[in-house]
Structure 1
Amino acid sequence: MRAKNRLTAGFLKSPPVGKHCDGAGLWLVQREDGGAQWVLRVTVHGRRREMGLGGYPSLGLAEARKIAGRWRDVAAAGRDPVKEREKEERAARREDISLAILTADAFEARKAELKGDGTAGRWLSPLTLHVLPKLGKLPVTDLDQRDIRDTLAPLWHTKADTARKALNRLSIVLKHAAALGLDVDLQATDKAKALLGKSRHVAKNIPAMAWADVPGFYASLEEPTPTHLALRLLILTGVRSNPLRHIRLDQIEGDVWTVPADAMKGRKGATEAFRVALSREALRVIDLARPHARNGFLFPNNQQGVISDMTLSRHMERRGLEARPHGFRTSLRTWLAEATDAPHEVAEAMLAHVVDGGVVRAYRRTDFLEQRRKLAERWADHVTGGAGQVVKLAGAR
């Protein structure tokens, strides 16, 4: 056995900078700034482990030797002292493994991949509004399917989409807790879903305007305000509200607007941006909006951000319209089906929908930009009051 108790109280009154061995893996590390730290080095299953025991002189020599002896015994028994200490700390602070704490930790771990949801807080809202007020203080290791069922039952048949999102988020939190080494039931959400039964909620599509009525609404957007101009460009391009509201001047080159991959919903893990063919009318709208641009954004709000989705929706609501901004995508897609002979894959590409399997897409390396450019011009002709004749694409099957 290696010699122990090499250090003395006299030496510790003024130890030089460096590492000083007390024996059997216990070291005092004296820093240049005057501080010092006790460190224990042990070997577990052939793997060297190092753990800090505390600072000196708050932790004296005798106490450091006592603590070191305890963790050496743990290592001798074949257990990792670092992990054992972590388990003890978690057990001593039960509130640190509450569902609320683990939810916040899981959110931080995945926030970077959540696109706009990370900053807008929509990922968290199903839990913060409907789950954490009732279960937030519960240790995540105690959470079971009955807790989840009782919490989500009031939503299951009335707000099914919210309840489904809450279940999905809870599953992610439980997997995160399991990855941290906590003993959780990873099937709790699936069991809760089985207990809740089939939802009676019938999903409703977002109200859309008939494509024949779009020109009349477009003509009413005559003022060059950010709201009117944003709605015009939304109609003309068929994109979703989020990339439209966050459009930047540096994303526009010529008659092409390149939407970053991470802004495209439904393209998780996508590495390619999406190109939007801009019609002459769309370019005119962009030019009208340029005087409003700030910090690179074409449609800024009065603070530091961009125009909100609610601003666009409320404008239509105040006009007494049932349709909502997102519904213009449906208007465009229906027009493509009823008033053009565009192939299915081209029509779907107009709305940035992902079609076919990954293998097919890997070999079909086109985004149909030129075909979409022609359709964008015809759609612009329609919404600005042009003729509604059937559009034919050259070479279309």
Structure 2
Amino acid sequence: MGNLTALKIKNIKDPGRYSDGDGLILVMGKTGKGSWILRVQHDGKRRDIGLGSLSTLSLAEAREAATIYRKQAHSGLDPVAERKKERRVIPSFETAARQVHDEHKTTWKNGKHQAQWISTLETYAFPVLGDLLVSDIEGPVIQEVLAPIWLTKPETARRVRQRITSVLDWAYAKGFRANEAPARSLARGLPRQPKKDGHFAAMPFQDVPAFLAKVRDRLSVGRLAVELAVLTACRSGEVRGARWSEIDIKKKLWTIPAERMKAGKEHIVPLSVQALDVLDRAKLYKCQVSDLVFPGQRPKIPLSDMTLLKVLRDMNLEYTVHGFRSSFRDWVAERTNVQGAVAEAALAHTVANRVEAAYRRTNYLDKRKPLMAQWGSFCNRSSA
């Protein structure tokens, strides 16, 4: 039984602190208004916890709240931290996923990836997980999302799993979950996917000259983009996003800014005579409203990746545009004496060894100029 009663509280006239016992205190102000506080010990430190005003919390309700916080303190929990958790609004999976997407999409250079990241969750995850609180999502319900596509669409399923994991790990970091995503249990609960060679289908370098000769049979913006991609060994996205302002015809250099590069570093591409010829033919598609070298149907929008791939499909070839980078790399290894680091620099690959990367300051531009000229000459051997 406490020291205070409802009648005693009603008759209090003077401001001050009135103890009910066991740490529960009523603080009366000069205006006659009161508030409840609870004094507890946690980790050897005194904590005063505000419970609420006398006008909204009766003596019985204050005692009930005090009992809960005392039990938390006695069990080693911090009552203040526990109350913050209670007040925190735990988001649904869909709300959390959209917030993660908004926070990270600006760091993704690939616009296609930005769109696909959320669209795959909309298609496969939201119908099952969308309305669930992130704190309640465990392995079995995630398996329910993945199981229908795990073997039929393995690559998509792996991406969905990775994105679900990212959302749940974000929720854990924000304090919305008690643990990280159950990645280990997911791996045990799903069947083993068939192994597949993850490399892009690449044309043997010996066939590249004849292929380019066929590409030149007809003139189109897509064919020109494919030809430049082959001659520069650049990625499809770098070629499709090429701008005239990046190209110095006199110096025979193409400077791709860091924001358009996979590694986030500026890349300078030496332009061979053959590459300059492609650019000369591409002037036919130059327009005042766009700086793009290879404008799409809407001039301010670059060509889609499918436009370049269609060039190969129209020739009944099962290779990929990206695979020509492998063709170039194989040609360097087989037909030249150029050191590997120069070839890797031509492909704008990052240095895997952290120590070597820290000390390497050169981009081998002077050595890459004759290399790309030699590659251009090889590619122009239409009789091969």
TM-score, with length taken from structure 2:
0.74
Structure 1 residues 5 and 320: alpha-carbon distance in aligned structure 2, compared to 1, 3 A threshold: farther
Of residues 223, 239, 250 in structure 1, which corresponds to 2:245? 250
Give, in angstroms, the shift of residue 105 of structure 1.
1.0
Which residue is equivalent to 2:335?
A: 339
Indicate whether 1:241 and 2:274 are aligned.
Answer: no
**CA gap 1:23/1:156 in 2 versus in 1, 3 angstroms:** same
1:286 partner amino acid: L
CA distance in 2, matches of 1:231, 1:240: 10
Unaligned runs of at least 5 residues, structure 1: 8-21, 25-44, 48-62, 91-95, 389-397
TM-aligned CA distance change 1:233 to 1:213, over 3 Å: same
Question: How much does 1:161 deviate?
Answer: 2.6
Letter in 1 for 2:208: V
Q: Secondary structure at the match of 1:314?
A: helix
Q: Counterpart of 2:258 in structure 1: which amino acid?
A: A
**What corresponds to 1:302 in structure 2?**
297
Q: What is the CA deviation profile of residues 182-228 of structure 1, one whole-angstrom value per residue up to 9, with x for unaligned ones? A: 12531412321222253223235322222122112212233443112
Q: Partners of 1:170 and 1:111 in 2: how far apart? A: 16
Q: Which amino acid aligns with 1:361?
A: A
Percent identity reads 30
Which whole-Å CA distance do the structure 2 matches of 1:149 and 1:170 have between them?
11
Q: How does 1:51-62 map to 2 (within 5 A)?
A: none
8 Å Cα contact 2:92/2:131 also seen in 1: yes
Larger-gyration structure (1/2): 2
Counterpart contact for 1:144–1:185, Cα < 8 Å: no
Give yes or no for contact 2:253–2:269 (8 Å, CA) kept in 1.
Answer: yes
Query: Which runs of structure 2 are paired with 1:129-144 in the superposition (5 Å)?
Result: 129-144=123-138
Task: Give runs of aligned pairs for residues 277-316 of structure 1, distance below 5 A.
Answer: 277-290=270-283, 291-293=285-287, 294-303=289-298, 304-316=300-312
Amino acid at match of 1:287: D
Q: Tell me the CA shift for residue 348 of structure 1.
A: 1.8
2:339 and 2:108 mapped to 1: Cα distance? 33
Aligned to 1:382: 378
Of 268, 271, 282, the match for 1:275: 268
User: Quick one: distance in 2 between partners of 1:80 and 1:298?
Assistant: 60
- After superposition, the C-alpha distances for 1:69-123 in whole angstroms (9 at most, x for unaligned) are 999x99x998669x95784473xxxxx7221111111111111111124775122
Unaligned segments of structure 2, at least 5 residues: 1-15, 17-26, 36-44, 48-52, 71-77
Partners of 2:266 and 2:46 in 1: how far apart?
Answer: 48
SS in 2 for 1:121: helix
Change (3 A) 1:148 1:119: closer
Correspondence for 2:168 = 174
Opposite residue 372 of structure 1, the aligned amino acid is R
| Shift, 1:234, TM fit | 0.6
Task: Report the secondary structure of 1:257's partner residue.
Answer: strand
Q: Would you say the 8 A contact 1:297–1:306 is kept in 2?
A: yes
* Structure 1 residue aligned with 2:368: 372
Matched, 1:230 2:225: yes
Secondary structure of the equivalent of 2:269?
A: strand
What residue is the counterpart of 1:59 in the other structure? none
Report if the CA contact (8 A) 1:5-1:23 is conserved.
no
Cα root mean square deviation, aligned = 3.6
Select which of 316, 320, 331 maps to 2:316: 320
Distance in 1, matches of 2:197 and 2:149, equals 14
Residues 125-147 of structure 1: CA deviation (Å, up to 9, x unaligned) = 43233222222222221111112
